[in-house]
């Protein structure tokens, strides 16, 4: 390695360009991961002006559908009986059963235990009471700031449903934007449940027909244009079943081809496809009742190949689909894999998926999103992501150093910035996502 003069070494050290020795790499990776202001590219959080849609506080944390799935395994309570309880009674039951009577060792229970500890509360009867008192005194605006700072995120990307009667009317009434939140035009009701929702568009003055005849596709594009103007989304999105096919002679196939995909091009927006859900395999447990299925990703291949001008931000739910998603991302630059979604967001799987993505895609993917439904979940979901990815990125750079390249703090910082910020900023609607200079 060429010797640098002492002075230039000091200059380069200050600038982070000094070659790192292998043992230094883990500390640099940990620090840069800690410092990066992450963009959380998919959540179910809401900006304050969307009111009660935004969930926060200990009773919402405890009645998260991930924990509801677990309570039915530990407690003898039947779903029908559980749903008759009040939210507080549900939270009391979950707290007692999953946190006091049993060790909170699952990913979702341990996460709430971490949030409680970070906020200064014990895992005890009194801890729950004190937490409730704390949350009752919080002002949401400043609480959001505190929670985002604790989680190390700068923005949360929302999931906004224009056909949800409550949310739609809030947007139509002029919901005040909040720079910490980005909007997303979520299209499940149009693409997956057209038969149940086409009349909502008709009622709003869009001349659509159930059979998609007449001016329907143009009117769907006009509906999307109106909502793009209202929400200024950073992408359009839809979750899709494991049986999703494209092309397909179907309502969804026609609406995608003639409505959503051209509209995304018109507005320079990616389309987020979240593929692999087996909806409501157990409807008795409601939101917790969805499962997973391996999808045929040739649908994705056809979309990326047929629409090279479109960008597809894609997460797949089945672990068995992850490797082929990486292969497809190598074939199509308009495909951006993101996140370890839902049943994948567990360290054992995040590690496998992230390693194969780094090996096959370098830093050209988005490693994670929180999918948070309750504000304070971002505290544990992003702490867990940093904890899981630290050793993986360290190993990646140690291998690079071992194989003869010079590794520097600047390189590590730039890689982490790309993974957790700039990949999204460049892929999403550039006009909407303020490309903030990364923290120096
Ligand atoms: O469709 C989605 O966006 C999924 O993330 C569902 O909301 C799912 O219920 C979920 O919360 N997964 O984490
Ligand atoms: Zn989600």
Ligand 1, atom 3: closest residue by C-alpha: 239
Pocket mutation for ligand 1, best pick of 40, 42, 43, 44 (most atoms within 8 Å of C-beta): 44
CA 372/CA 402 separation, integer angstroms: 38
| Ligand at shortest distance from the CA of 344 | 1
Beta strands in 80-232 (DSSP E): 153-157, 181-186
Nearest to 58 by CA among 375, 383, 285: 375
| Ligand 2 center from residue 44 Cα (angstroms) | 6
Q: What is the CATH code for 39-50+152-374? A: 3.20.20.140
| Ligand 1 center from residue 207 Cα (angstroms) | 31
φ/ψ of 33, rounded to 5, equals -65, -40
Give CA separation, 118 vs 113, 115, 383, in Å.
9, 5, 11
Pocket mutation for ligand 1, best pick of 344, 345, 371 (most atoms within 8 Å of C-beta): 371
Beta strands in 227-374 (DSSP E): 233-241, 271-278, 291-292, 312-316, 335-337
CA 289/CA 282 separation, integer angstroms: 5
CA 344/CA 158 separation, integer angstroms: 20
Ligand 1, atom 13: closest residue by C-alpha: 342
Ligand 1, atom 2: closest residue by C-alpha: 239
CA 128/CA 131 separation, integer angstroms: 5
| Ligand 2 center from residue 197 Cα (angstroms) | 21
Query: Per residue in 87-122, pLDDT tens?
Result: 999 999 999 999 999 999 999 999 999 999 999 999
Give the binding-site residues of ligand 1, using a 6 Å CB cut-off.
44, 159, 239, 274, 287, 290, 342, 371, 373
Q: Are 345 and 305 in contact (CB under 8 A)?
A: no
What secondary structure letter does DSSP report for 70?
A: H
| Ligand 1 center from residue 159 Cα (angstroms) | 10
CA 51/CA 166 separation, integer angstroms: 10
CA 27/CA 86 separation, integer angstroms: 47
Residues of the chain with pLDDT under 50: 1-3, 434-440
Nearest to 233 by CA among 173, 275, 166, 187: 187
Ligand 1, atom 10: closest residue by C-alpha: 342
Amino acid 1: pLDDT: 41
| Ligand 1 center from residue 372 Cα (angstroms) | 9
pTM listed for this prediction: 0.95
Nearest to 326 by CA among 293, 359, 292: 359
Q: Angle at the Cα of 164 (from 39 to 60), degrees rounded to 5?
A: 60
Q: How are beta strands 312-316 and 271-278 bridged, if at all?
A: parallel
Which protein residues have a CB closer than 5 Å to ligand 2 (ion)? 371
Q: Which atom of ligand 1 is nearest to the CA of 42?
A: 3
Nearest to 247 by CA among 300, 293, 188, 192: 300
Find all residues with CB under 8 Å of 196, minimum gap 6, and list them: 189
Q: Are 182 and 154 in contact (CB under 8 A)?
A: no
Ligand 1, atom 5: closest residue by C-alpha: 371
The fold adopted by the segment(s) 52-136 is uronate isomerase, domain 2, chain A (1.10.2020)
Counting beta carbons within 10 angstroms of the beta carbon of residue 137, is it exposed (0 to 12), middle (13 to 18) or buried (19 or more)?
A: exposed
Amino acid 15: pLDDT: 73
| Ligand at shortest distance from the CA of 288 | 1
**Maximum separation of any 2 CA atoms in the chain, in Å:** 75
Q: Are 384 and 348 in contact (CB under 8 A)?
A: no
Q: Which atom of ligand 1 is nearest to the CA of 159?
A: 3
The 10 Å Cβ neighbour count of residue 421 is 22
CA 427/CA 268 separation, integer angstroms: 10
- Domain borders along the chain are 39-50+152-374, 52-136
DSSP-assigned beta bridge partners for residue 139: none
């Amino acid at each position: 390695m060429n010797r640098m003069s002492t002075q230039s070494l000091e200059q380069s050290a200050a600038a982070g360009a000094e070659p790192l020795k292998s043992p230094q790499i883990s500390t640099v990776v940990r620090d840069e991961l800690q410092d990066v202001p992450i963009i959380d590219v998919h959540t179910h959080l809401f900006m304050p002006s969307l009111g009660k849609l935004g969930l926060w506080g200990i009773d919402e944390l405890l009645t998260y559908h991930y924990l509801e799935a677990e309570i039915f395994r530990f407690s003898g309570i039947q779903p029908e009986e559980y749903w008759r309880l009040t939210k507080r009674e549900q939270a009391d039951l979950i707290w007692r059963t999953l946190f006091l009577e049993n060790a909170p060792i699952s990913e979702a229970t341990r996460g709430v235990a971490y949030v409680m500890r970070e906020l200064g509360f014990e895992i005890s009867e009194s801890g729950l009471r004190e937490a409730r008192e704390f949350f009752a005194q919080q002002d949401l605006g400043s609480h959001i700031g505190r929670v985002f700072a604790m989680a190390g995120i700068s923005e949360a990307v929302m999931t906004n449903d224009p056909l949800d009667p409550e949310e739609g009317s809030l947007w139509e009434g002029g919901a005040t934007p909040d720079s910490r939140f980005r909007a997303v035009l979520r299209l499940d009701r149009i693409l997956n449940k057209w038969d149940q929702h086409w009349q909502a568009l008709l009622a709003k003055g869009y001349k659509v027909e159930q059979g998609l005849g007449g001016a329907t596709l143009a009117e769907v594009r006009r509906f999307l244009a109106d909502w793009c103007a209202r929400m200024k989304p950073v992408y359009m999105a839809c979750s899709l079943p494991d049986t999703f096919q494209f092309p397909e002679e179907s309502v969804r196939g026609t609406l995608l081809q003639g409505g959503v995909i051209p509209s995304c091009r018109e507005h320079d927006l990616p389309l987020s496809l979240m593929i692999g859900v087996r909806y409501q395999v157990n409807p008795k447990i409601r939101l917790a009742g969805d499962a997973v299925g391996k999808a045929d990703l040739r649908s994705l291949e056809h979309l990326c190949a047929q629409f090279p001008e479109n960008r597809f931000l894609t997460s797949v739910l089945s672990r068995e689909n992850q490797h082929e998603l990486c292969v497809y991302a190598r074939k199509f630059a308009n495909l951006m894999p993101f996140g370890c979604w839902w049943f994948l967001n567990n360290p054992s799987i995040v590690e496998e998926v992230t390693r194969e993505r780094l090996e096959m895609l370098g830093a050209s993917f988005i490693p994670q999103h929180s999918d948070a439904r309750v504000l304070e979940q971002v505290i544990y979901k992003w702490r867990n992501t940093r904890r899981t990815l630290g050793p993986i990125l360290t190993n990646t750079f140690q291998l690079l150093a071992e194989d003869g390249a010079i590794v520097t703090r600047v390189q590590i910082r730039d890689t982490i910035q790309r993974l957790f910020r700039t990949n999204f900023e460049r892929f999403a609607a550039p006009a909407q996502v303020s490309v903030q200079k990364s923290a120096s």
